[in-house]
A and B are shown apart, each in its own frame.
Chain A
Amino acid sequence: MPRFDQARPFLTLGIVLLAWLVLPAAVKRVARLSFYEFQAPTDVAASYARDLQEFWSQKTRTKNEVIEAARDLARLNASYELRLQDDARLRAEIARLEELLRLPSYGEFRAEPARVVRRDFSAWWQRLVVRKGSNHGLRVGSPVIHGGGLVGRVAEVHAHTAVVELISDPAVRLAAVFDGDDRPVSFQGGSNPPLRPAEALLEYVPLDVFATPASPRRLVTSGLGGVYPPGLYVGEVRSLEASTDGLFKTGRAVLDPRLGRLTEVTVLVPVDPAP
């Protein structure tokens, strides 16, 4: 009798797990969504509280500090206006060349800025929750960027929030190229040591590419696969070594340390998504 008493919790758990396994997938999906949407307001409320905290901390600034910040901002705006003019000229040039060479044009994106609600960076996954969801037209698979380059892609879209899978996530693989080189290399996130910026693993690097700590190489998106636009900064490669088969090189890319401190990102929503 005492032995049965000891086995009873295991028996109950076994029955519960068996019932859980035979439960229809639709029921589990609804349950998961319900649990998620039930806890989402907690994170969103906390992010609003952080915004309020930041607002009040900014209120403590002196007038001189605000005047200096406004002056710096005016200088930045002036330089950005020049860059905008340059950007318009380059866009026109690209469109002219595409028409001349009959090249397919890259997809158009709408930039949707979103506040970061929660950073969830573990050894197993690296994700962000942002404060915009299907209510702002976000779509699964949309690329996400910040001032320092590529952040990742939208993995889940909920009613008022979306989950972004970072490029440092072990599950993320993409085709990248070295800046100034058009040969793609394999990029995989997932090296996230403690107290250090995340790193990514590189494979299939051509043998004639070199990178050292003294002369690192920039890694950018290739545009292959159609998910990420080309030319977005991904990371910096400081060392490469021959792979075991000797046909290629392997190495590591150090990702932007700002990825761990993101408070705002921009989601690139395809304007005319493929059906």
Chain B
Amino acid sequence: MFRDTRQVLALLACAGVLAAVLGQLNHALAPLALTVSAPGLLVAFAALRLPAGTGLAVVFCTGLWLDAAAPTPFGRQAALLGLAFCFLHNAARRLPREETLVGVVSALFVNLALFVVLAVVDLGSLPDTPSGALRLLADLIVSQVFTTLVGPWFLALQRAALDLAGVPPPAGARRPA
């Protein structure tokens, strides 16, 4: 119980760091009309390395954290991240999930999937669909570049945070318990 709580808190702190970095980066990129988002990074480690219950708690709370600062229904990003977590967690047993490369590639796929889902659901609501689609494409490209560059650091940060909290993720087994 306490072990799970410590894992959740440690990973939430890491998510807070990434959200703060992204906030500052987007502040700097605003004059260029570009936005970076990396939902995949917030999901990948929890889905690949943690048990279902703990990982879902981390991802859901992270989604609520993001929702609090966004003008979307509270809980929407939490639900989307939760869904991405479930798919990735199920795929984890067929993957060498301790590899950094696998974590980064998983994050890239989650980014892509969430961009596509949001585009399909919401693009029609934008008053100027062609420029909205162009903007989303540009945002996706810079987000994927950011995820590729920052992914290894962030996965290592999460691993180090769990080690520091004295609750390292289960190792060895192909599938989380």
CA–CA, A22 and B75, complex, Å = 12
Provided the pairs A46-B20, A118-B27 are in contact, do residues A13 and B82 lie with their beta carbons within 8 angstroms?
yes
A83 within 8 A of B: no
* Interface pair A118/B65, CB less than 8 Å apart: no
- Return the CB mask of B56-67 against A: 1 if under 8 Å, else 0: 100010001101
B30 within 8 A of A: yes
* Interface pair A261/B31, CB less than 8 Å apart: yes
Tally chain B residues at the interface, Cβ within 8 Å. 49
Residue in A32, A42, A195 whose beta carbon sits within 8 Å of that of B68 in the complex: A32
Which residues 22-70 of A have a CB within 8 angstroms of B? 28-29, 31-36, 39, 42-43, 46
A residues in contact with B30, CB < 8 Å: 119-121, 260-261
Tell me how far the C-beta of A124 lies from the nearest C-beta in chain B, rounded to whole angstroms. Answer: 7
Tell me how far the C-beta of A17 lies from the nearest C-beta in chain B, rounded to whole angstroms. Answer: 6
* Interface pair B56/A194, CB less than 8 Å apart: no
Tell me how far the C-beta of A100 lies from the nearest C-beta in chain B, rounded to whole angstroms. Answer: 43
* Interface pair B33/A260, CB less than 8 Å apart: yes
Chain A contact residues, CB within 8 Å of chain B: 6, 8-10, 12-13, 16-17, 20, 28-29, 31-36, 39, 42-43, 46, 118-125, 127, 155, 165, 170-171, 188-199, 201, 257, 260-261
Q: A123-B35, A196-B33, A260-B33 are in contact. List 17 more A-B contacts (CB 8 A).
A: A10-B86, A13-B85, A31-B68, A32-B67, A35-B67, A39-B16, A39-B20, A39-B68, A42-B16, A119-B27, A121-B26, A123-B132, A191-B128, A194-B138, A194-B139, A199-B128, A260-B30
Chain B contact residues, CB within 8 Å of chain A: 16, 19-20, 23-24, 26-27, 30-35, 37, 52-53, 56, 60, 64-65, 67-72, 74-75, 78-79, 82-83, 85-86, 89-90, 118, 122, 125-128, 131-132, 134-136, 138-139
